Amino acid sequence: MTVQESSAVVLRAHRTDLAQRPSSLLEVVPVELPPLREGQVRVENSLQQIIAATGDLMFAHPQLPVPPFRIGESLYGPAIGRVVESRDAALPVGTAVLHMSGWRGHSTLGAAAAFPVPDGVFPGPEYLLNQGVTAYYGMVDVAGVGEGDVVLVSGAAGGVGSMAAQVARARGAARVIGIAGGPDKCRFLVEELGLDAAIDYKSEDLDDRLAELAPEGITVFFDTVGGTQFEAAIRHAASGARFALCGVLAGQVGGGDGGFPRLDIMTALINEIQIRPFSTRQTLDQIQAWNTHYAQWYAEGRITFARTLLDGGLERAINAQDEVLAGLHRGNVVVRLAG
């Protein structure tokens, strides 16, 4: 089947303010598809992952280790689809693939950029659209989580946090505590993900709850939020605690100052807290390490795919980007585009 026309989400203008909704700067436009060259495949996308970093990449200079979006060009991001046209024998028509050229109805890819979705490993292809690479790398390689650790995860109901908390459990942490906003998310963390406890930052005092839940202090803090949650974690850190910092959601939404928390330097010095900011470059080693453990832990029932599935096309994906930044959904957010 030869496909000549499709649609894609493009950036009309760069974000200049964190309070701007991404949807106000995005639009779906028709696109013409070029003929395939040797070694390329055409993929009809059916699943689009929605991640918070997409909003950051809409700034002209986002200070992230990946290229920003360009005005007038299609966005990119994780997606799954099926090959509908192929000029590579290794990826015949009908192959389901994972790739990073989403936010469009059809993607034209070099075969090396399309990763076949394994059969029989997970209940559905959407299980591969997760932020586990960041979670695993931060928890294991950066924080070195292991047996006996008392772990605190901020943004624990989100895509990265929900995976990071489960990685800590799978690695033998003695206690895993999640921070989330609202009673529904807190129940989700304890009842569905199996965390030991959850703190509702919207209605509970962080200091009081941490003193109750971790009286000897936390030994690992996985932070996706920053702000006052980082400050509280410093106050309740055990000697030698490791802080893996991978996000500042408190400063990414609504123009807050969560990206600039106060650091109690004396407490950090006395307790010899190790503060380890990191970014995940999605290297082959990082991806392989996560996928290997993910498949094993899932088969053993030690980890689940926390997700929100939304139905709709590319327009729904645009609105879902606003919703992710507003914290309206739990776990990894995936939009079903077609099929």
Residue 281 above 70 pLDDT? yes
**Sheet-wide strand order for 197-200:** 197-200, 175-180, 150-153, 218-223, 237-245, 274-277
List the beta strands (DSSP E) in 224-283: 237-245, 274-277
Residue 135 above 90 pLDDT? yes
Q: What is the pLDDT of residue 1?
A: 66
**Structural domains of the chain, with CATH:** 5-130+305-336 (3.90.180.10), 132-277 (3.40.50.720)
| Residue bearing tokens 């649609």 | 7
Q: What is the pLDDT of residue 64?
A: 82
Q: What is the pLDDT of residue 252?
A: 63
Share above pLDDT 70 across residues of the chain, in percent, rounded to a whole number:
97
CA distances to 8, 25, 62 from 58, in Å: 16, 9, 8
Q: What is the pLDDT of residue 333?
A: 98
Binned at pLDDT 50, 70 and 90, residue 283 comes out as: confident
Q: How much is the pTM?
A: 0.92
Binned at pLDDT 50, 70 and 90, residue 160 comes out as: very high
Query: Residues 167, 195: contact at Cβ < 8 Å?
Result: no
Residue 65 above 80 pLDDT? yes
- Smallest Cα–Cα separation from 108: which of 119, 117, 97, 118? 97
Residue 33 above 90 pLDDT? yes
| Residue bearing tokens 């693939």 | 97
